[in-house]
Each structure stands twice: as C-alpha cells, then as structure tokens.
C-alpha cells in the first residue's frame, strides 16, 4: 500500500528542514538579548538541590492568575561561596544573573551570580540604583581623588566611640606615628545612622589633616548606612582627604567609591594614614650616614686645598711670584706703548696722504696758480662745445668774478 503524502511533506520539496542543533542554536541567538543579561529576578525557591560539587540547582516560581510560572536556575560554586545564608524550598529570594541556553540539552536556565533574601535583596537593588545615580553625579570619578598628606599632624575619625574600630585605629597610629586624633562620634548602624554619619563628617571637615570614616565588620544590613547617598555626598563634599574603612576585606560600600582612598579594614586605614616611624628613623639614619661620608670627603678635600694654599703662601715663594707678575705686567705695558706709537704713526701718515690728495683737488689752490672757473647758467663749463658765440658766461678767479660775452669759439681741432 502506498502512503499518502501531504503537500507539506519534506519530500514534496521547497521546505527547509532544520536539525535539532540548528533549533538550539537559533534559540541561543534569540536569548542573547540585553534584556536577559544581568537581570534581577524575584521568586520562590523550589526543587532546591545542593550538589556535591558545590553547585546549586533550583527553580524560581511565581503564582499568577494563569497558574505558576517556573524558571530553572543554576548557581555555580564560585558564586555560591558568597552566600551568607542557606537557601531552602519556599524561601522568597531575589537573584541576579543572566538567562543562558545549554544547547546540548536544548534548555535555557537562569545562571545566578548573587542571591539574597527578599527583604535584603530589595536593599541590594536600592543600593544598585543609588550607585547608578551617584555615578551620574560624578561622585565616583577618578579625577576627584586627592593624595593623602604624607605627615599629618591631626587625624579625624568618624565612627562609633565605643566600637572596636576606633580602638584599632588608635592602637595602630600610636604604634606607627603618634599624632593627635580627633573623634567625631556617630552611630554606625540603624535607621537614622546615615543622618548621624553625614553630620559627623561635616562637623569635622576642615579641622583635621585627614579623615577616616568607617566601622568594623558586619552583615550587609549592619553596613547599609554607609551606602546611603547622604553619607556618600558628605564624603564627596569634604575639603579634607577621606579614607573609607567600612567592614572587612570583602565588604564593599558606596562610601568606598566616593572616598579618596579605600582601605579594607579600619586598621589598614590607620596604616595608610600615617608613615611608620621605624621606617622614617631608618631612612634618617641612612641619610645621616650619607651626609657624614659626604662631609668627611669635603673636609679631606678642604685640608688638601689648605695645604696647597699654605705652601703657595710662603714668603719666598710669594715674593718670587709677585716679581714674576710685575715683570709680566712691565712687558705688557711696553708692548702696549709700542703698539700705540706704531698705530698713531700710521694714522698720521695716512691723514697726511689724504690731506695732500684733497689739497690737490682744491679749486682755490688751482686759482692761486692763475686758473679760473667758467660758468654758464650757473653750471661749470667743462668743454668748449658747451658754449657758442654771444653766450654770456661768468669767470671766477681767486679774488673775484667777471661777466663776459663770448665773441668767438675755437676748438682744438681747428687750431
């Protein structure tokens, strides 16, 4: 019996047949959407499983009018290590991650990077929003960072007056480089803590060389006040350089981004606030040694120079040197005198020669010997071809002039 083939059967031609891997690849491309990257999702934990490898597998579900919506989730052990609570089924949580597809199995899942209890998670979201706003205000810009003073004389500390952080700072500074410490006391946790911290910062600003703002370690809730925009803006507005020292090594607050320097602990902040006097004393000893060696070399050179000078200053030697100098000066004087005489003699001869040449060209001298000068129309007559019969000319002689009329002109060629 022949099977019936519908018009849409692949064998009928004109239809593209995709492989399963092709479909999975297309789904992966569709899921590669910015709207599914680094997203925050809230839901109820179900099917929670803590694998022996350290990875966490679970689902997030949410009830709606159309029933339950479920998304599979995976949290790799590198991210799960940062959890400060143990998740469980039925727990309301907020997670942060990206939707990805695992092509070999053809399924998508939410890869979770962070997980918080719903109440704490909402605060994390709030901190993210504050971070975005404060960054737009330019409060975290690197160019705003200022260098710390190398040798402060007074350090301000904004923290709880009864906390361990203050004692750690006092001990470290006292051991390394004792300076005056001015405490601006404040609550460091609680609903109104951010208001007190901001006021304490404003109160001490300008009165010290450096400010340390912080507290000891604690939970995210305990450190929450140091994320508040009031505290961040107070730090950014300080005219005094600020070190942020909130919590322990792994704790991060928005105050860290606004401060001129972020220290992992209050003790580390104290170490960075002042130099170590033992290092300074060692440097001073090294510099003193170098100065002593330099002075010793200079004294040795001075003694040698003084000995040479003393030898040159002996009376006999001094008189001999003076005689040599006097003889040299006498030679120079004689050379100058001879040079001056020769110079002036040459000048006199040259002037006499010039005077003789000028005298030879003097028209007055020529007139003394019986010559005269003829002018026609106020111009000297240089050739007979310049005058004609009946021209009126003037004759100048050594003792006067005469106006005459030319009667006849005879050229040399006609003589």
Q: Indicate the pairing of strand 67-75 with strand 107-117.
A: parallel
> What are the backbone dihedrals phi and psi of residue 16, each rounded to the nearest 5 degrees, phi first?
-85, 125
Q: Indicate the pairing of strand 373-376 with strand 261-262.
A: unpaired
- Look at the alpha carbons of 103, 104, 106, 108 in this order and tell me if their dihedral is positive or negative: negative
Each residue's pLDDT tens digit, 93-110 = 889 999 888 767 667 889
Q: Give the single-character DSSP code of 39.
A: E
288 and 262 in a single domain? The answer is no
171 and 96 in a single domain? The answer is no
Q: Give the single-character DSSP code of 44.
A: E
> What are the backbone dihedrals phi and psi of residue 45, each rounded to the nearest 5 degrees, phi first?
-70, 130
Closest CA to 221 of 185, 262, 193: 193
Last residue of a domain, one of 275, 309, 343: 275
Question: What's the pLDDT score for residue 326?
Answer: 81
DSSP-based three-state secondary structure for 242:
strand
Say if CB 169 and CB 269 are below 8 A apart: yes
Tokens 């006499």 found at: 352
Q: Indicate the number of domains in the chain.
A: 4
Each residue's pLDDT tens digit, 174-229 = 999 999 999 999 999 988 999 999 999 999 999 999 999 999 988 888 898 999 99
**Domain presence at residue 34:** yes
- Is residue 41 packed enough to be buried (19+ CB in 10 Å), middle (13-18) or exposed (0-12)? middle
Question: What's the pLDDT score for residue 333?
Answer: 81
**Domain presence at residue 358:** no
Tokens 């009376």 found at: 315
DSSP-based three-state secondary structure for 261:
strand
Question: What's the pLDDT score for residue 121?
Answer: 65
DSSP-based three-state secondary structure for 78:
helix
Say if CB 231 and CB 225 are below 8 A apart: yes
CA–CA distance, 257 with 231 (Å, rounded to integer):
12
**Domain presence at residue 354:** no
Boundaries of domain holding 319: 283-330
Q: Indicate the pairing of strand 39-50 with strand 92-102.
A: antiparallel
- Which CATH number goes with the domain that contains 19? 2.40.50.140
259 and 317 in a single domain? The answer is no
**Domain presence at residue 352:** no
**Domain presence at residue 3:** no
**38 dihedral zone (left: phi>0; alpha: psi -120 to 50; beta):** left
157 and 113 in a single domain? The answer is no
Q: What is the pLDDT along the chain (415 residues), one digit of tens a residue?
A: 444 444 455 555 568 877 767 777 777 777 777 788 888 888 888 899 998 899 999 999 887 777 778 889 999 999 999 888 889 888 888 899 998 887 676 678 899 999 988 766 677 778 888 999 999 999 999 999 999 999 999 999 999 999 999 999 999 999 999 999 999 999 999 889 999 999 999 999 999 999 999 999 888 888 989 999 999 999 999 999 999 999 887 788 999 999 999 999 999 999 999 999 888 888 888 888 888 888 888 888 888 887 777 766 666 666 777 778 888 888 888 888 887 777 777 877 777 777 777 766 666 666 777 778 888 888 888 888 888 899 899 988 878 888 998 888 888 755 4
**Domain presence at residue 89:** yes
Token pair belonging to 319: 């008189």
């Amino acid at each position: 019996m022949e099977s019936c083939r519908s018009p849409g059967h692949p064998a009928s031609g004109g239809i593209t047949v995709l492989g399963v891997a092709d479909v999975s690849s297309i789904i992966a491309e569709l899921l590669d959407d910015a709207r599914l990257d680094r997203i925050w999702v809230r839901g109820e934990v179900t099917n929670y499983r803590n694998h022996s490898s350290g990875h966490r597998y679970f689902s997030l579900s949410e009830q709606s009018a159309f029933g339950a919506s479920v998304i599979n989730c995976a949290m790799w052990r590198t991210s799960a290590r940062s959890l400060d609570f143990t998740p469980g089924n039925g727990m309301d949580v907020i997670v942060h991650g990206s939707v990805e597809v695992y092509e070999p199995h053809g399924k998508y899942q939410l890869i979770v990077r962070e997980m918080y209890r719903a109440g704490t998670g909402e605060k994390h979201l709030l901190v993210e929003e504050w971070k975005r706003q404060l960054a737009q205000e330019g409060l975290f810009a690197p160019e705003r960072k200022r260098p710390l003073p190398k040798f402060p004389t007074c350090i301000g500390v904004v923290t709880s007056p009864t906390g361990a952080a203050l004692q750690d700072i006092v001990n470290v500074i006292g051991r390394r480089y004792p300076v005056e410490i001015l405490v601006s006391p404040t609550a460091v946790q609680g609903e109104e803590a951010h208001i007190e911290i901001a006021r304490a910062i404003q109160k001490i600003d300008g009165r010290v060389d450096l400010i340390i703002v912080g507290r000891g370690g604690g939970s995210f809730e305990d450190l929450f006040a140091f994320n508040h925009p009031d505290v961040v803006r107070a730090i950014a507005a300080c005219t005094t350089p600020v070190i942020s020292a909130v919590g322990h090594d792994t704790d991060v607050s928005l105050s860290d981004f606004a401060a001129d320097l972020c220290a992992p602990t209050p003790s580390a902040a104290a170490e960075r606030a002042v130099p170590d006097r033992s290092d300074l004393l060692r440097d001073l000893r090294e510099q003193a040694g170098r100065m002593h060696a330099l002075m010793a070399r200079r004294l040795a050179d001075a003694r040698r120079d003084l000995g040479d000078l003393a030898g040159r200053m002996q009376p006999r030697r001094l008189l001999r040197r003076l005689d040599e100098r006097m003889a040299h000066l006498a030679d120079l004087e004689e050379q100058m005198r001879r040079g001056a005489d020769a110079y002036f003699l040459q000048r006199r001869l040259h002037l006499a020669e010039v005077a003789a040449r000028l005298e030879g060209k003097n028209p007055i001298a020529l007139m003394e010997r019986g010559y005269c000068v003829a002018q026609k129309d106020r111009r000297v007559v240089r050739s007979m071809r310049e005058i004609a019969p009946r021209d009126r000319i003037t004759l100048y002689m050594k003792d006067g002039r005469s106006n005459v009329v030319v009667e006849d002109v005879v050229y040399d060629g006609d003589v």
